[in-house]
Amino acid sequence: MVLAQQGVKDPPVVPRHVAIVMDGNGRWAQQRGLPRTDGHREGSRVARTTVEHAIRRGVDALTLFAFSSENWTRPVEEVDVLMQLFLEALDSQARDLIENGVRLSFIGDRSTLSAPLQEDMARVELATSGNTRLRLQVAVSYGGRWDIVQASRQLAAAVGRGELGLDDIDEQAVSDRLSLAGLPDPDLFIRTGGERRISNFLLWNLAYTELYFCDSAWPDFSADHFDRAIDYFAACERRFGATSHQVRGGP
């Protein structure tokens, strides 16, 4: 192309939507002789700086896995601290989200959360609903299987009411009823903490997402780590079932 002939590089490829499993908080703290809850507090700070860097890099949507449906089995003290951290973060960061143009939404089973937390979540969602610079989704009490089940229940109810026929149920109909309805599927998935699995996160939406695993625990995750993940994504050839030749313009 002309730009290449003139010695000008193509602009960097930035994923529109990044999903992150923020793993390793507890282990990070234990390795330092600290309570696991200290790791979660440090992880909360890193989540904030990661949102800021996503904005700088031009990411359109960021989805953070904060608390899974399986995390309820953890020690009561640890769960209580996590819930308190959510409340504190909502109170302290709402103004920053608004000023930075971030639209915040929560995905997950809210029925399992306390009434005060549900009220604060709804309040911040409403306050940021007009923002367009970054779509930020925080998964709380979320599980990918739960997400598909609740979408299936909605479809079954619609069929029962006569609003849909069985032939109307296709991939789009399912997608429209999942927690990320209205957003593009994640282009890039990042997991910190050294584990190589997706752990029941966005099972439907990650079908063609590029997966990047980082050995550093979440409290050590930095802008450099984020940039390396984006560089990895930029080097990927995304074929979506096609051949390399087709992706490059061949028949």
167 assigned to active site: no
Alpha helices, DSSP H only, in 101-251? 115-127, 144-160, 171-175, 223-235, 244-247
71 assigned to active site: yes
Amino acid symbol at 219: P
Strands 210-213 and 17-21: unpaired
d(CA 154, CA 92): 35
Considering the candidates 10, 60, 71, 176, report the single residue annotated as catalytic. Answer: 71
Nearest Cα neighbor of 55 from 138, 133, 137 is 133
Tell me how many degrees the CA angle 132-134-139 measures, rounded to the nearest 5: 120
d(CA 242, CA 45): 41
Neighbouring C-alpha atoms within 13 Å toward the C-beta of 220: 14
* SS3 of residue 99 by DSSP: helix
**Residue 141 in contact with residue 109, Cβ under 8 Å?**
yes
Quickly count: other Cβ atoms within 10 Å of residue 222's Cβ: 13
Considering the candidates 23, 120, 185, 187, report the single residue annotated as catalytic. Answer: 23
Amino acid symbol at 240: F
d(CA 250, CA 82): 51
Widest Cα–Cα separation across the chain: 62
Give the residue numbers marked as catalytic. 23, 71
